[in-house]
Structure 1
Amino acid sequence: MRKLTTTASILGVSLALVFTAQAQAPESFRVISPIFGQLVSFSMPSDFVAVFENTKGGHYIREAVLKGETPERWTQMITVIGEKGMTLTPGASPETFAASIAGGFKSACPDSFAARPFGVLKFGRFAGFGAVIGCGRVDSGPTRHSETALLITLKGATDYYTIQWAERGPETDEPPVNDEHWQMRLRELSPIDLCPIVTGEAAPYPSCVSKS
């Protein structure tokens, strides 16, 4: 779901895209992006392309969709979000951050919302939380549809980050949050990690590439 409507600077972020071959998985890109205080690293299937990016104050967002789709008309979307300085927010944790995002979903579909927590996760030395959240009926977009997403939150050194893999489908009373393919989606995004920004280092960020 779109969280900002401000004008985007498409593909303005410096990305390191390193092809990797993963056993029993489609070819993917290693995406390494400097977002606020750290490099955010994960794998993205090669049939996705970034179509929207924006930084507004302490909030960063980038969206990628399947090639040939658009930010308005898409069937799958991978979204990366950064929240600057959020580790200083009292009570903040990967779980409460995930809950706040889930609350946004629920407000859009109070009668058809569902969620399935994966629980506490670890990405390198950084704490995270995973869940699947879904709306059975959403009226935004060209037609009414369902929208379900794998949601990963990470607590960085100073900032918080999320990676979301969302899928749209026919409207339903029960969004497919219990479908086992969300575990596969998590594996496809892996390895997920945060790396320090090294002064003077440019893409493809060899210090982060060499970590995995």
Structure 2
Amino acid sequence: MRTAMTKAAVLGLSLLWLVTPAQAQAPQSFRVISPIFSQLVSFAMPSNFAAVFENTKGGHYIREAALKGESAQAWTQMITVTGEKGASGNPGLTPEKFAGNIAGGFKSACPESFAAKALGTTRFGGFDAFIAVIGCGSVDTGPERHSETALLIALKGEADYYTIQWAERGPASGKPPLDDEKWPARLRELRPIDLCPIVAGEKAPYPSCVNRS
């Protein structure tokens, strides 16, 4: 997210991504499959979001989607996908530590109102992951002070690390709303989450990944 959590400067990267119907939600969700570095990243995105920014710089990748009608600069909700090329090769780096590094950068923007809540370790498609809710009660990264809270999913791929983040801005407060039931509900909306191999010569709709779940 072009927020306190993630600031990626960037060169262009051509992105192929697929949307296929997923489980019905309110609003309906769609399966999104994107080749990012060494793997395909797959999850369900609510249909009221649209991509507003996508780029890469060296080994850093980012794509942002905001509610339809909003922009990368002015948004109330944003779903962000990131990739960190080659990071899985670091033997001391776990999904929890990777998420902690992101949270640390977020905290630097709001040391007085930062808070975090771990939702625990898990696995998606056989890959280790860590989930947390992190946020600022008051931050001024936009036109006016506001709270900014995000569901953060960190995944360790075969070679790279990935994150899926669903953030929301609201009125400024003393602490971000970490205990709101919306965060577990949004995690359910993003499922199924998976990392699939990139098959040589295969193009969208990436049937090898679609057929895994």
TM-score, normalised with respect to structure 1: 0.95
Measured after TM superposition, the shift of residue 77 of structure 1 is: 0.3
Unaligned runs of 5+ in 1: none
Q: Is the 8 A contact 2:18 2:205 kept in 1?
A: yes
The one-letter code of the counterpart of 1:189 is L
Question: Which residue is equivalent to 1:44?
Answer: 45
Secondary structure at 1:96's aligned position in 2?
Answer: helix
Question: Which residue is equivalent to 1:13?
Answer: 15
The one-letter code of the counterpart of 1:190 is R
Q: Distance in 1 between matches of 2:11 and 2:48?
A: 22
Q: Distance in 1 between matches of 2:9 and 2:99?
A: 23
Aligned residues between the structures: 210
The one-letter code of the counterpart of 2:82 is I
Q: Distance in 1 between matches of 2:96 and 2:69?
A: 34
Q: Is the 8 A contact 1:109 1:138 kept in 2?
A: yes
Structure 1 vs Structure 2: percent identity of aligned residues?
Answer: 67
Q: Is the 8 A contact 2:8 2:60 kept in 1?
A: no
Unaligned runs of 5+ in 2: none
Measured after TM superposition, the shift of residue 87 of structure 1 is: 1.1
Aligned CA RMSD, in angstroms, stands at 1.4
Q: Runs of 4 or more off by more than 6 Å in structure 1?
A: none
Secondary structure at 2:108's aligned position in 1?
Answer: helix
Measured after TM superposition, the shift of residue 7 of structure 1 is: 5.2
Write the deviation string for residues 167-195 of structure 1: whole angstroms up to 9, x where unpaired.
00000002101111100000000000000
Question: Which residue is equivalent to 1:4?
Answer: 7
Q: Distance in 2 between matches of 1:25 and 1:86?
A: 36
Measured after TM superposition, the shift of residue 166 of structure 1 is: 0.2
Measured after TM superposition, the shift of residue 46 of structure 1 is: 0.3
TM-score, normalised with respect to structure 2: 0.95
Question: Which residue is equivalent to 1:71?
Answer: 72
Q: Is the 8 A contact 1:82 1:161 kept in 2?
A: yes
Change (3 A) 1:88 1:138: same
Secondary structure at 2:20's aligned position in 1?
Answer: strand
Measured after TM superposition, the shift of residue 90 of structure 1 is: 3.7
Secondary structure at 1:182's aligned position in 2?
Answer: helix
Q: Is the 8 A contact 2:87 2:159 kept in 1?
A: yes
The one-letter code of the counterpart of 2:20 is V
Measured after TM superposition, the shift of residue 129 of structure 1 is: 0.2
